[in-house]
């Protein structure tokens, strides 16, 4: 009974901490309560409906959620569900890749034993690469969509970000440093997450730029913070590199 009340009343981060402290009955209740979330995350990767009772991918997602409970660290400040979503995505991607590799190897063995059906090894490699490219392209699209959703939560768009990005290298470097400062300072990080805006007064005390400059680069600084706060598997290096050079140009349909 106490465990059920805890699920209703506490934040999920607090519940995870209780589980890590040894509350195993609460862990079972949390896993049951978040099965729809797990199925949704797994479905995002597989691009199809995932049946919790039939699809092996759901079992992978369920175990990934279990791992997220064990490895989550409250001190790092990231929300548990964002962390769990990342782990589920990565584990499911790994599973799909392993299954694909196994299937292709088995198929190749069959072909070697059946000369009439034998394909060119070059065709097999090309098919494998094409499949991997298709998978990676789809996952990049999902991350771009997620990045755009995060930007909208902070009340601006990807197009606005491209338009207001600082044109000078020094200005971009300074804004990026401020973004890293926000992410690495627990009190500032909490403020940005809760308010979805820059803590101008607090920030002005910690940096050497004026409030006017902070306001001018506000969207760019927030974009850096969003990237650092979301663990993009496919896009993080690309986005950071292009924000550094000022050449950010992303198509949601790429």
CB 137 within 8 A of CB 234: no
Q: Is residue 8 part of a domain?
A: no
Which pLDDT belongs to residue 1?
Answer: 34
Q: Is residue 49 part of a domain?
A: no
In terms of residue numbers, what domain contains 219? 158-245
Place of tokens 């198929």: 107
Which pLDDT belongs to residue 112?
Answer: 40
Q: Is residue 170 part of a domain?
A: yes
Query: What contacts 24+ positions apart, CB below 8 Å, involve 79-87?
Result: 79/13, 80/12, 80/13, 80/16, 81/12, 81/37, 82/229, 82/230, 82/231, 83/231, 84/34, 84/37, 84/41, 85/41, 86/231, 86/233
Q: Is residue 146 part of a domain?
A: no
CA pair distance 221, 25, nearest whole angstrom? 43
Among 150, 160, 204, which Cα is nearest to 181's? 204
CA pair distance 217, 128, nearest whole angstrom? 44
Which pLDDT belongs to residue 143?
Answer: 77
Which pLDDT belongs to residue 8?
Answer: 38
Q: Is residue 29 part of a domain?
A: no
SS3 of the chain: the string is CHHHHHHHHCCHHHHHHHHHCCCHHHHHHHHHHCHHHHHHHHHHHHCCCCCCCCCHHHHHHHHHHHHHHHHCCHHHCCCHHHHHHHHHHHHHHHHHHHHHHHHHHHHHHHHHHCHHHCCCHHHHHHHHHHHHHHHHHHHHHHHHHHHHHHHHHCCCCHHHHHHHCCCCHHHHHHHHHHHHHHHHCHHHHHHHHHHCCCCHHHHHCCCCCCHHHHHHCHHHHHHHHHHHCCCCCCCHHHHHHHHHHCCCCCCCCC
* Count of structural domains within the chain: 1
Q: Is residue 25 part of a domain?
A: no
Which pLDDT belongs to residue 170?
Answer: 87
Q: Is residue 239 part of a domain?
A: yes
**Mean pLDDT by 10-residue block, N- to C-terminus, for the chain (254 residues)?**
40 89 90 90 86 90 93 79 88 84 47 41 52 66 82 92 87 88 90 92 90 93 87 63 56 46
Q: Is residue 91 part of a domain?
A: no
Which pLDDT belongs to residue 233?
Answer: 64
């Amino acid at each position: 009974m106490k465990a059920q009340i805890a699920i209703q009343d506490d934040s999920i981060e607090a519940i995870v901490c209780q589980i890590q402290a040894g509350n195993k009955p609460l862990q079972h209740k949390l896993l049951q309560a978040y099965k729809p979330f797990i199925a949704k995350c797994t479905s995002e990767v597989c691009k199809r409906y995932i049946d919790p009772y039939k699809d092996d991918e759901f079992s992978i997602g369920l175990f990934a959620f279990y791992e997220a409970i064990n490895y989550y660290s409250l001190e790092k400040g990231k929300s548990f569900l964002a962390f769990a979503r990342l782990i589920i995505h990565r584990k499911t991607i790994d599973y799909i890749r392993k299954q694909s590799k196994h299937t292709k190897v088995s198929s190749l063995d069959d072909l070697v034993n059946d000369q009439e059906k034998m394909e060119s090894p070059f065709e097999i490699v090309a098919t494998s690469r094409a499949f991997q490219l298709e998978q990676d392209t789809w996952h990049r699209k999902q991350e771009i969509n997620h990045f755009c959703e995060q930007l909208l939560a902070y009340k601006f768009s990807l197009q606005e970000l491209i338009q207001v990005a600082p044109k000078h290298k020094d200005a971009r470097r300074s804004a990026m440093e401020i973004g890293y400062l926000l992410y690495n300072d627990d009190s500032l990080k909490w403020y940005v997450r809760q308010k979805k805006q820059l803590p101008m007064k607090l920030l002005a005390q910690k940096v050497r730029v004026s409030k006017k400059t902070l306001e001018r680069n506000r969207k760019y600084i927030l974009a850096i913070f969003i990237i650092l706060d979301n663990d993009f598997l496919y896009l993080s290096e690309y986005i950071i590199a292009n924000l550094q050079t000022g050449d950010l140009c992303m198509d949601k349909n790429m």
